[in-house]
Chain A
Amino acid sequence: DTEVTQTPKHLVMGMTNKKSLKCEQHMGHRAMYWYKQKAKKPPELMFVYSYEKLSINESVPSRFSPECPNSSLLNLHLHALQPEDSALYLCASSYRGITEAFFGQGTRLTVV
């Protein structure tokens, strides 16, 4: 199983809503990542978890709150987002961060 599964695939939320994005992998990878990708741009790193601990936070606003409940699961909690936060959110995982990252299909988020 070389899959990273993200749910939901699409999400529309209002600026006062609270929602969560979910990412799951069963490859035994111990590094998991959240990336944000705007149209026609490369992915931008948001957070890295290594062994379920937050190891990199790229100065992301607090309205994005990551959580890693266990080694297979990564969540991104969203609250009070702005329209400019609309983007494709990609989850990825890798074996201890020293091999290639495997990406999920992403969640297309629209903030209205």
Chain B
Amino acid sequence: AQTVTQSQPEMSVQEAETVTLSCTYDTSENNYYLFWYKQPPSRQMILVIRQEAYKQQNATENRFSVNFQKAAKSFSLKISDSQLGDTAMYFCAFMKGVSQGGSEKLVFGKGTKLTVNP
């Protein structure tokens, strides 16, 4: 079974600064996907960034980037130029790769509550 560990229950950062959220995972699979989701108080889960395990290049989306270390099974999220709107719960998630039209579930970490202070 796959597990996802987020070791930082809470973090805070000053507006405009950079913060890194940690995530490690355990799997014996070779084909998988990793995601960071954001859940603000409005409660909708919003995809921040995704990474395919077969891609060596780290994914980036504007101010958000990941450091994907496949051998170490580490997938950290870096938020640059933090904004007040980044305040939310951040979940790291793992999904096994699927073939032939099947479906698989997301395995979530316990989350990191990030507060951006003005």
Contacts and interface: CB of A to CB of B under 8 A. Distances in A.
Task: Judge: A and B partners, yes or no.
Answer: yes
Interface of A: 30-31, 33, 40-43, 45, 48-51, 55-56, 58, 88, 90, 92, 94, 96-106, 108
Nearest to A53: B103
A96 B106 contact: no
Interface of B: 33, 35, 37, 42-47, 50, 91, 95, 97-98, 101-106, 108-111
| Main secondary structure on B side of the interface with A | loop
A100 B98 contact: no
A97 B98 contact: yes
Nearest to A97: B103
17 contacts: A42-B108, A42-B111, A43-B45, A48-B103, A48-B105, A49-B103, A56-B103, A92-B45, A96-B103, A97-B98, A98-B98, A98-B104, A100-B33, A100-B47, A101-B106, A105-B42, A108-B43
